[in-house]
Chains A and B, each alone.
Chain A
Amino acid sequence: MTDQETASALDPPPDVVARLERMKARDVILRVEGLDKQFTGRGRGVKALDGIRFQTHRREFLCIVGPSGCGKSTLIRILAGLEAASGGVALLDGVPITGPGRERGMVFQGYTLFPWLTVKRNVMFGLEMTGTGRSEAARQAGEWLDLIGLSAFAEAYPHQLSGGMKQRVAIARALINQPRILLMDEPFAALDAQTRARMQAYLLDIWKKIDVTVIFITHDLDEAIYLADRILVLSPHPGRVQEMIEVPLARPRSPAQVQSAAFRATKARLESLIHAPTSSAAEEEPYPAMPLMANVLDTVE
């Protein structure tokens, strides 16, 4: 594939352009301005985030990718209010984020369902915490369980569910609070490939039907391209915004698009950004050559 072909494949087709224009016409829901994070400890500080600046629009699906050490988890934890930034500000609907709140739902990689509550009570948890009555909370939780297809498991405990089921419950538990944005920190990383593919399609289905903005962290480039409207690429040490990429793929997305030229061109672009020669050589530790310890005649390659 020549550079010219790549460039043309990266140009979004007219329908995608129109959709992205519609998205950008919506209000800015989250504005991150010059966000810094400095971890101090044992004498010297480590800078995790340096001047992060981006914005998302209402109902956008934004993925954040980057190599390990780029601070993507730190970034989403600051957005969730679980950690404080050292500098800069993140504004949700123009209001600075100072702590956790129900308008920002979060789905973690480790499922974090409450093991002592049944599936239904897990989903009800957010409503009960914010003053909704038990019966109303139960009614809404029942509806959500119908939506995620787990009504039969309403009275089961989390340890009786598979990984994919647990993550569906976690998504329902976050969305029942009707958050403005849904923060997802590598939510499918622990799932097997088939379950993960189903969960991705399933997440897109939920996302397009309700008014929610998704910020999704992943280290899987295929996943990012498949899900996102735009992809924020971070560079490591310290975490900086490297680029914001618009995904030139039409919606609805389908697994077949993985084979398309646009998909492959986007992936090549992301890979060139992430594995750029700028990444420090110290990160990739050299390992010593392994001596041959098997029969020299008994080759496997």
Chain B
Amino acid sequence: MPSVRSAAFGWGLSGGAARPRMARPNWLRIRGPLPLGTRRMLGLCSFLLPLLVWAIVSYVPFIWHPNMLVTNPGDVDYFQVGMSVDRATFASEVTSALQAKQAPPQGVPANPLYLPSPGAVASAFIAAFTSSAGNAEGGWMLASLWKSIQVIFWGFLISSLIGVPLGILAGANTAVSHLVEPIVEFFRYLPAPAFGALAVAVLGIYDGPKIAIIVIGTLFQQILIVANTTRKVEFGLVEAALTLGCRNGRLLSKVIVPAILPDLYRDQRVLLGWAWTYLIVAELVGATSGISLFITQQARHQHFAAVFAGIAVIGIVGLGTDLLLGRLGRRLFPWDRSAAL
């Protein structure tokens, strides 16, 4: 019999009825849909799984714990209560003490100082918000955070006031695009912190240079991203407006700007995240302030739980703002069907 393979190309997937019904969603499908409950559950796991790993490493004594925390120094003269020594040293001290018929030191397995447990971070987090202990300038997390938010706000506002109009013009007009974009492309490769010393020389040591660093870090990306978004406006809309008697300035304000608004809003959300990533570097310029001061001070005193709490606060504020803006966006642009998240 000639071997004729009727389904050689997989065109005729014979027996469609025999295929199992797609009762449960296939998680491996490309862009396969998932029910809302599953999506929420996955979103929660995205936070809980790393937290679980962290908790296991912290609380299960035999997982890692390379050090011993001394609870009783015994007769070892250089040991102190609360001292963290590595296991090998501790073990050798125990054996030498036993051989010399002296009291051996006692201790419990511990992780290095720089990996505090989730519980320690949580209590440091609460303490940082509730107590005004520490010095008045930096110890108090809420004041530090407020300071940082102000720097971000002004930096992002100034950047947007320049970057958004310039980006729209560059995206809408070829002449502006060719005049502006080459120099912007050059500047966007320069790391913002490189301007730190210059910014301090020009703007002093307080908020000025910090805001400037955020502006420098955000603005050039912003111009290019907004210009690109503007270029993606369906040209048919512009042509339709032209045939309806719409001209120059109004073409920009009545067609191009409204057409890009949802995408512009999304760009701004991404760029705001970008601005946050420049925050620490910016705050270290001149007189250290804000959340950076909190973090660096706590690190200097080896309060790593508080350092972790400070870092977490930045993430929480950033993510929270973004979720809020995302929700607001869906209300602001009811016609936008590509709304993600």
Contact = CB atoms under 8 A, between A and B. Distances in A.
Contacts of B9: 293
B258 interface: yes
Interface in B1-59: 2, 4, 6, 8-9
Interface string A83-117: 00000000000000001111011101010101111
Contact of B335 (A115, A126, A183): A115
B243 A159 contact: no
Interface in B146-183: none
B236 A102 contact: no
B199 interface: no
A258 to B, nearest CB: 32
Nearest to A297: B4
A295 B261 CA distance: 57
Contacts of B239: 80, 82, 100, 106, 108, 112
Contacts of B254: 125, 129
Given A112-B236, A114-B259, A115-B335, A102 B245 contact: yes
Contact of A293 (B8, B234, B242, B336): B8
Interface string A58-91: 0000000000000000000000111000000000
Contacts of A116: 258-259, 261, 333, 335
B101 interface: no
Nearest to A130: B245
A202 to B, nearest CB: 20
B178 to A, nearest CB: 19
B250 interface: yes
Interface of A: 80-82, 99-102, 104-106, 108, 110, 112, 114-117, 125-126, 129-130, 157-159, 170, 173-174, 177, 183, 293-296, 298
9 contacts: A112-B237, A112-B240, A115-B335, A115-B336, A116-B333, A116-B335, A159-B337, A174-B244, A295-B6
9 pairs of A and B residues whose beta carbons are closest in the complex: A102-B245, A126-B244, A100-B242, A112-B240, A106-B243, A157-B335, A112-B236, A295-B4, A129-B246
